[in-house]
Amino acid sequence: MKAVPAWRRIPWPPLIYLAAIAAGIVLGLLVPLPRMTGPFGNVLYAIGWLIIIAVIALWVSSFRAMRQAGTTLDPSGEPSHLLTSGPFSITRNPIYLANTLLLFGVGLVSGNWWFLPISIVAAFVTQKIAIEFEEKILAEKFGRRYRDYSKKVRRWF
């Protein structure tokens, strides 16, 4: 396996999502958007909490599957196993999906609509900086098994 450049060893995904949270808060304070009120606002609030609960379940099941397989939790680390069951049978990136959905859910719960477009930007940046690189490593390490898996299971959902 080739040497990994130093900038690739930085755990970018958590930093991307933390920056997205900070951007959402700052934009919400500096350029607040109108809040949704009334029954529709209550429905969006409830949906936001359901999304956040689903995020927690996705995180727990993903971390549990990774820990049981004995593979790294470090997004910049080298995986030791190809996970294809549990949440990894639904999406190739359940943790990144959960992080993106968290931003979306927080936007609905808080009424800060900036989190909605920021969640899409964070997902795009994560895909370009982390996921595409991780996919190359997985294809290199697991070969046909990974290619077959990636044909069956979507990147996001």
Cβ count within 10 A of residue 60: 12
pLDDT for 120 equals 97
- For residue 3, pLDDT over 70 is answered with no
CA distances from 155 to 4, 7, 119 (A): 23, 23, 16
Q: Per-residue pLDDT tens for 88-146?
A: 999 999 999 999 999 999 999 999 999 999 999 999 999 999 999 899 989 999 999 99
Q: Which residues contact 85 (CB under 8 A, 6 or more apart)?
A: 65
pLDDT, tens digit, for every residue of 30-84? 999 998 889 999 999 999 999 999 999 999 999 999 999 999 888 777 889 999 9
Query: What is the pTM (predicted TM-score) of this model?
Result: 0.90
Extract the runs of DSSP E, i.e. beta strands, from the chain.
Answer: none
- The answer, yes or no, to whether residue 155 has pLDDT greater than 90, is yes
pLDDT value at residue 2 = 57
**pLDDT at 10 exceeding the cut of 90:** no
Q: Could you tell me if 82 and 145 are in contact, meaning their C-beta atoms sit under 8 angstroms apart?
A: yes
pLDDT at 16 over 70: yes
The whole-number pLDDT of residue 35 equals: 85
